[in-house]
Structure 1
Amino acid sequence: MLNGQQKIMLSKYTELYELLIPKNHMLKQFNDLVDFSFVYNELASSYSQNIGRGAKDIVMMFKYLLLKVIYELSDEDVVERSLYDM
């Protein structure tokens, strides 16, 4: 999916997340320091705006891969943890 093809629906609890997750949490600092928009440019040639269904947000999928590497998770663990972990 290319930037603008589909918008991510942010949680209505975003402000609560800001209160619960400490500012010094590694993943929060990582997200604040890295501009993940480069992923759209890198994968632009792999996605079509006109053909097929819209894909999941590629930045979100890239972040899943990062979590998989950082925490040494299996594919199943990444899916399971994404359902209940903030």
Structure 2
Amino acid sequence: MIGKNKQSGQMNFLFQTLKDQLNPQHPLYQLSAKIDWKAVDSDFAEYYTNFGRPAKPVRLMVSLLILRQLYNLSDESVVERWVENPYFQYFSGETHFQWSIPCDPSDLVHFRHRVGKEGIEKIFRLSVQLQGKDAQQKSVSLDTTVQEKILPSQLT
């Protein structure tokens, strides 16, 4: 017997938020809730003025730098993947799926220059706090064993 598709009526995704559509068990979904984004905004407010061209939102820029580090991506790659990944977008504070890049990759360079070493250290401290006790251990264990290379002549 051929199975039938389960259709519970037509859903309209245009009016649903990303929060409603995404899996709450996804790590980025959960990580987004652990960060006090209002505190991040106020921590970085000192790097901005009240005049001139409006900058990109602090949450967007900080989240892109965190995603860049988490997934070991370049500035260009994190911006490209942001468009494809609704979890990246949700983590960055978007409520609805976006179809265009959030910023030019060079904006990340400008943001790093704007916040300087002190701002990057704030982001680093934030990521350490998110790791909890695991990131605050006093010692680190390294496995230094090395397996010797087997030469082809030794295989016979």
TM-score when normalising by structure 2: 0.43
Equivalents in 2 of 1:17, 1:43: separation in Å? 26
Question: 1:46 and 1:13, CA in 2 relative to 1: closer, same or farther beyond 3 A?
Answer: same
- 1:84 and 2:84 are equivalent in the alignment: yes
Query: What's the CA shift string for 1:20-49, capped at 9, x where partnerless?
Result: 421110000011122111222212221111
**Alignment partner of 1:72 is 2:72:** yes
Partner residue of 1:6? none
1:21 aligns with 2:57: no
What's the counterpart of residue 47 of structure 1? 48
Write the letter of the residue equivalent to 1:23.
P
Q: Deviations over 1:44-85 (max 9, x none)?
A: 221111x21000101111011110011111111011111221
Superposed CA RMSD in Å reads: 2.0
* C-alpha distance 77-14 of structure 1, shift in aligned 2 (>3 A): farther
For 2:76, give the aligned amino acid.
E
Q: Normalising by the residue count of structure 1, what TM-score does the alignment of the two structures yield?
A: 0.73
Cα 1:27/1:13, change in 2 over 3 Å: farther
Q: In 2 relative to 1, CA 41–16 (structure 1 residues): closer, same or farther, beyond 3 Å? A: closer
Question: Separation in 2 of the partners of 1:64 and 1:19?
Answer: 22
Alignment partners' CA distance in 2, 1:28 and 1:69: 17
RCO higher in structure (CA 8 A, sep ≥6): 1
Q: Percentage identity across aligned positions?
A: 31
1:18 offset after TM fit, Å?
Answer: 3.4
